[in-house]
Structure 1
Amino acid sequence: MPTIGDVTYELLRAHGLTTIFGNPGSNELPFLAGMPEDFRYILGLHEGAVLGMADGYAQALGAPALVNLHAAAGTGNAMGALTNAVNSHTPLIVTAGQQVRSTIGQEVMLAITEPGNLTRPLTKWSYEPACAQDVPRAMGQAVHLASLPPRGPVFLSVPYDDWANEATTDSAHVASRRIAAGHCLSPDQLTEIAEVLDGARSPALVLGPQVDADGGNADAVSLADALGAPVWIAPSPSRCPFPTRHRSFRGPLPTTVEGVSAALVEHDVILVVGAPAFRYHQFGPGEYLPSGARLLHITGDPGEAARAPVGDAFVGGVGDALARLAAAVKPGQRALLPDLPDFPVPAASSPGRVQPAELFAQLRKLAPRDAVWVKESTSTSGDFWAHADLDQQGSFYFPAAGGLGFGLPAAVGVQLATPERRTIALVGDGSANYGITALWTAARYGIPVIFIILKNGTYGALRWFADVLDVGDVPGMDVPGIDFSRLAEGYGVSATSVRTVPEFSAAFRAALAGVRPTLIEVETALSAP
């Protein structure tokens, strides 16, 4: 008879889950001992980096990823990264090894005392099978729940003596099960939305990360062209759902109530697609909408629809809704918007310090058209979007919850998932320290990410917030004296440090020509979001 481990691996294979991201401990060894030869194990040196890699991999692949963590402590180490995954609707199956079943109640070393609660509320489902024979079915449930809309991470704790038990004959059914989700907007709902848009004096679109995740960018362009409408990205974008040089593109919305309302003041109908309405950050009170404006909201997440403070919401498949809506509205009622002005001229860099805007302008000229950008440098967001030239699906990733430590690991995962494209990580020196061990994984597996560390010696976004909150110069905002070139070389990644734009350009060209991971540390001037 096959074992529980045999049947579970067959189930994982059937769902394409043959890549495992992990950092193992004693509780996980019996599971890994049975790993088939067609599976690959991507080792990370810290659980936060492990989960960040899986997050980037699953988002870029558009499919679930499997994570293997060590007991409660290892799962706890990954919880910060899990905040990003739940907010980006990343389908992750997070597993952890539990102690031997007969000892769990004693709370022995490495026992998970409350597996059902350990990862809540950051997972859609947390579970420990009641017996060994329930493990394959539970794993199947985890895979399906992570994949069903709204997608998101799940957690499964498995006692390590379960894997060697014999499976029942019924266990074979779990590998062949399929679940199809078919929730879409009804024809009447689409007609209602289309009629409101057609009757609007000045409609506006606000697009979120789910548009990019659902492959809806081209349909978003068709809808914007048909309506002659400007397009914003929802606040704090974690993906890019619209080409940044299209005539309709207006960049990301601000992250305050008053800022959003001011940006949309000229519009009487606002359609939000694939994002919360709205996800604010710093407190800036005001009216949720401009006077007389109406908001319509299309989302695949019932929670996003239910908690919004304003607007009429429609829950259904975002990509499907965009495609049908683009065909349903009446085109040509408004003139096309004028082309965007040319890129702004960035401020010149000072000796020894590169201006982020000038760096991004140079990258726009040097990087491949299909490059994938993984960014975790909040203080340079305004400069990045001002110089971004993104026009392909899946070209941009940012930590969806603002949890630090996403950038370096996620870039490794994204590059693994999209080997035909080059991944470029833009990471601040404050953020980089949270996921620095991902460099070892990139070196160990030869993953050719180009890591660019924007080094200004401080938490730039925090300094900006200190000004917003008028708190003055508080302790803990500076991180001087870190040599990222030497750190990278210690992890096995070739690295260089530059202080001028010409030095950076030469280093970037060399990195682009190589087939191994490379890190470029750039001394940058302080900028504001």
Structure 2
Amino acid sequence: MKKRIVRGLSVPQAIIECVKQERISHLFGVPGESYLPLLDALYDEPTLQFISARHEGGAAFMAEAYAKASGKPGVVLATRGVGAANLAIGVHTARQDSTPLVVLLGQVHRRFRGREGFQEVELDEWFRPLAKWAVEITDPERVPELVQRAFRVAKTGRPGPVVVSIPEDVFTATVAEAVLLAMDAPCPAPADDEVKRIEAALAAARRPLIVAGGGVKRARAEQALRRVAEQYSLPVAAAFRRHDVFPHDHRLYVGHLGLGAPAAVVETAKQADLILAIGTRLSEVTTQDYTWPLPHQTLIHIDIDEEALGKVFSADVAVAADAREALCALSGRQIVPSWNEWVLARRRAYEETARRPQPPRNVQEAIIAELQAQLPDDGVITNDAGNFAGWLHTFFSFKEQHLYIGPTSGAMGYGLPAAIGAKLVHPERPVVSLSGDGGFLMTAAELETASRYGVPVISLVFNNRMYGTIRMYQELQFPGRVVGSGLGAVSFAKLAMALGANGVTVGTVDEFAAAFKQALAAAKPTVIEVMTEPEQLSVTMRLPDR
């Protein structure tokens, strides 16, 4: 895109030009009087659609998932302190998930600043610890400069959320001259010496393991990862909630290092004598409470964020580089694998953990099998936080890239709004969200948003009338002493119909199969409420039958 110099734009028009040059199609938010001129300017812009949500938290989740699905920054709008407070969970999710997100907040009038005006909060200071960058723009002439900078900061290095606060009177001003130029995110490559050190370490290894994270997905480096893995017969494990980084049916895939990871998968990570961590910050969940890498293991850590290197574990070789550039540089090296038998053994160990029991022991196992059978190859899955996701993580086989969107932040209420954001990016693909009854009800109002805009997402709600993960930990730590984790009876099928969607309740896999087939063909959103046994707290834990 060429540099443009535009004169006489209003501030809202300047912001819209900054958004358009990022090739963004949708913005999300809840309308507010502090940024009405920006909403009015969107009225005249046919290339941008504003999705008006029911809650700023839902809008922020939609924008964050839109970014993951599109590879472009997400944009969410809100008003003053109250709207900002409501969307903070989306900022936290974008931070932990390394998602490019630009938050545009209307602030109180400049004349009222510092007087504790209506809904006034020091927004830039408030978000500074949570966001990658936060700024308040008080000079209208600097709006184009700083909004463009917000997009650059959000998408370069380790991507993340940027918060821009703009007083409401600034929106009514005019910009004398705006210099507009979108900048691509730099993709630094490793130095030759760094590549040679990695080559030497791999050549000396006997049990190497690749741990692939979100940086591989963001760099669109899945094919490069596959080529390197195949060239050297390197086994690949997926970091927490990065399931689709490598095909699960590939002979070199050895499992997902997530919550409740099977012991055999964790054992693979601990047996390895070399860990090649690519595009992962080696989070608490991925490293199973920081129990590996072990001191005797060689750690090669490749990440685009210099601050991630050595933040948790000291690396024998630390490389600040784009995942795709690093993987391409590793291709064609003098590495002769001597670990084929170990890889075969760890692949077999993974296959044992992923094999669905026959017959299914519970409705969750049966439904994941049916979902696998019916969902088209290009179907997208999103999920909420909760133990229900354990069945998806354990038994669903992701075979293609860009099929999964989930919150590494563990945010409840994420699944449905994320599905809406993903479906707006991929209207031709089926998008299915999985939620528990606790998480779904936190953002269930966004079902009306999906109905209003004609976004036919499919929501599976696993209803056990409890906050299941918390109940599990209560039973593990304080058996029989249940406080606060029980929930009341809610008909999610009736709720769906009240919000303009289809709704059905199922209790068997046959009922689910019929309902899911209809949902795939439906022109409006569908909620399939799955009644589950409250005793089945997780994939591996069941309370005694009463």
Fold match (TM-score > 0.5): yes
- Residue 86 of structure 1: aligned partner: 95
Q: Secondary structure at the match of 2:188?
A: coil
CA contact (8 A) 2:22 2:72 kept: no
- Residue 104 of structure 1: aligned partner: 113
CA contact (8 A) 1:227 1:334 kept: no
CA contact (8 A) 2:304 2:320 kept: yes
Shift of 1:501: 0.6
- Residue 85 of structure 2: aligned partner: 76
CA RMSD of aligned residues (A): 2.5
Q: Secondary structure at the match of 1:346?
A: coil
The amino acid of 1:88's aligned partner reads: D
- Residue 57 of structure 2: aligned partner: 48
**346, 361, 376: which is aligned to 1:368?**
376
Q: Secondary structure at the match of 2:456?
A: coil
CA contact (8 A) 2:92 2:131 kept: no
> Structure 1: how far apart are the matches of 2:396 and 2:285?
23
**148, 152, 159: which is aligned to 2:167?**
159
The amino acid of 1:528's aligned partner reads: S
CA contact (8 A) 1:346 1:361 kept: no
Shift of 1:72: 1.0
User: Structure 1 residues 282, 473: closer, same or farther in 2, change over 3 A?
Assistant: farther
TM normalised by structure 2 equals 0.89
User: Structure 1 residues 118, 292: closer, same or farther in 2, change over 3 A?
Assistant: closer
Q: Secondary structure at the match of 1:20?
A: strand
Matches within 5 A, 1:119-138: 119-138=127-146
Residue 58 in 1 paired to residue 67 in 2? yes
> Structure 1: how far apart are the matches of 2:372 and 2:261?
32
Higher RCO structure, 1 or 2 (CA under 8 Å, sep 6+): 1
Q: Any gaps of 5 or more consecutive residues in structure 1?
A: none
**17, 22, 26: which is aligned to 2:29?**
22
Shift of 1:214: 1.6
Shift of 1:347: 5.9
**437, 445, 459: which is aligned to 1:429?**
437
> Structure 2: how far apart are the matches of 1:285 and 1:166?
52
Residue 528 in 1 paired to residue 532 in 2? no
CA contact (8 A) 1:240 1:397 kept: no
Deviations 1:245-273 (A, max 9, x none): 11122222255999787442322111111
User: Structure 1 residues 116, 329: closer, same or farther in 2, change over 3 A?
Assistant: farther
User: Structure 1 residues 358, 310: closer, same or farther in 2, change over 3 A?
Assistant: farther
Query: After alignment, is 503-512 or 221-230 more displaced?
Result: 221-230
Shift of 1:284: 5.9
Shift of 1:279: 2.2
- Residue 294 of structure 1: aligned partner: 298
Deviations 1:114-148 (A, max 9, x none): 12212232211111113222222211111111111
CA contact (8 A) 2:32 2:79 kept: yes
CA contact (8 A) 2:457 2:526 kept: yes
CA contact (8 A) 2:155 2:185 kept: no
> Structure 1: how far apart are the matches of 2:130 and 2:159?
12
Shift of 1:282: 11
Shift of 1:84: 1.2
Q: Secondary structure at the match of 2:171?
A: coil
CA contact (8 A) 1:349 1:355 kept: yes
Matches within 5 A, 1:129-528: 129-169=137-177, 171=178, 173=179, 175-178=180-183, 180-234=185-239, 236-253=240-257, 262-280=267-285, 288-290=292-294, 292-312=296-316, 313-328=318-333, 330=335, 333-335=338-340, 337-338=343-344, 341=351, 344-346=355-357, 348=359, 355-470=363-478, 472-525=480-533, 526-528=536-538
> Structure 1: how far apart are the matches of 2:232 and 2:268?
19
User: Structure 1 residues 244, 144: closer, same or farther in 2, change over 3 A?
Assistant: same
> Structure 2: how far apart are the matches of 1:256 and 1:367?
25
CA contact (8 A) 2:30 2:52 kept: yes
Query: After alignment, is 317-326 or 402-411 more displaced?
Result: 317-326
Q: Secondary structure at the match of 1:479?
A: coil
Shift of 1:244: 1.2
Query: After alignment, is 196-205 or 253-262 more displaced?
Result: 253-262
**Alignment: residue pair count:** 520
> Structure 2: how far apart are the matches of 1:138 and 1:396?
33
User: Structure 1 residues 254, 159: closer, same or farther in 2, change over 3 A?
Assistant: closer
> Structure 1: how far apart are the matches of 2:510 and 2:445?
29
CA contact (8 A) 2:437 2:461 kept: yes
Shift of 1:180: 4.7
> Structure 2: how far apart are the matches of 1:190 and 1:383?
39
User: Structure 1 residues 499, 252: closer, same or farther in 2, change over 3 A?
Assistant: same
The amino acid of 1:26's aligned partner reads: E
> Structure 2: how far apart are the matches of 1:33 and 1:142?
22
Deviations 1:429-477 (A, max 9, x none): 1111111122111111111211111111112221222244346433111
CA contact (8 A) 1:203 1:268 kept: yes
- Residue 32 of structure 1: aligned partner: 39
> Structure 2: how far apart are the matches of 1:257 and 1:41?
39
The amino acid of 1:237's aligned partner reads: R
> Structure 2: how far apart are the matches of 1:520 and 1:176?
46
> Structure 2: how far apart are the matches of 1:203 and 1:217?
19
Q: Any gaps of 5 or more consecutive residues in structure 2?
A: 1-7, 540-546
> Structure 2: how far apart are the matches of 1:104 and 1:257?
50
> Structure 1: how far apart are the matches of 2:228 and 2:394?
23
TM normalised by structure 1 equals 0.92
> Structure 1: how far apart are the matches of 2:359 and 2:235?
31
> Structure 2: how far apart are the matches of 1:46 and 1:329?
55
